[in-house]
A and B are shown apart, each in its own frame.
Chain A
């Protein structure tokens, strides 16, 4: 049982480049979300999805796009990378779109923008 899988684990981008961080879950979870974590800080919610075809903004959505075409996948797109987007990105899934349910996290993607 893989749980939540994120790829890649590490990535270096140049300013202005675009890329997609992949997130997949095999638990048939309804709710998926993306967070970023800067050094010494807590997690900040970027975008979330309550089901296939439905996405919404979190606390820090600017510079990021998401889509949810299937239940399993929830990719995060950086449109034009900036040094301020250097961070560790975590994807998570919950069985239901209910914050009282347990969130399962991936291992993270460490992104550096130079």
Chain B
């Protein structure tokens, strides 16, 4: 059973880089790590996914070490609009379900 652990909350200031680390010790060989972002009163939306090393898109970067037991979502120069809950997801081994944990509540201050 692949379970993830991430900090419950984080605070930051505008313009700073934010790194949110997720641990997933039991990730299966073929599984990816996926991060979602949820703003208040909205459904989650996909932001980035990776399998190993580093992935970067226009929103974030995702760093995955060789053992794949953890991953770090990096948000460069955050703004107030990045205040949201960020979820790290790893599939339940052998199943179809997508299970969300509690996520990390990021609060960006001016």
Select B98's contact among A45, A106, A108, beta carbons within 8 Å. Answer: A45
Residue B13 is within 8 A (CB to CB) of chain A in the complex: no
On chain A, the number of residues with a Cβ less than 8 Å from chain B's Cβ atoms is: 28
Cβ contact of A97, chosen from B30, B87, B96, cutoff 8 A = B96
- Cα A2 to Cα B33 in complex, Å, equals 27
A100 at the interface (CB under 8 A from B): yes
Majority DSSP secondary structure for residues of A touching B? strand
**Does B76 belong to the interface (CB within 8 Å)?**
no
B15-23, B64-72, B100-108: which one contacts chain A? B100-108
Candidates A4, A41, A58; contact of B97 at CB < 8 Å: A58
Instruction: Give the residue name and chain of the A residue nearest to B31 (CB).
Output: A100
Chain A's closest residue to B102 (CB) is A42
Asked if A42 and B103 make an inter-chain contact with CB atoms under 8 angstroms apart, the answer reads yes
Of A90, A99, A102, the residue contacting B46 (CB under 8 A) is A102
Cβ of A50 within 8 Å of any chain B Cβ, yes or no, is: yes
A86 near B: Cβ within 8 Å?
A: no
Closest partner residue, chain A, to B85 (CB atom): A42
A35 at the interface (CB under 8 A from B): yes
**Besides the known contacts A100-B30, A102-B34, A103-B44, 13 further A-B residue pairs in the complex with CB atoms under 8 A apart:** A4-B43, A41-B102, A45-B99, A45-B100, A48-B96, A48-B97, A50-B96, A99-B95, A102-B46, A103-B46, A105-B42, A105-B43, A107-B43
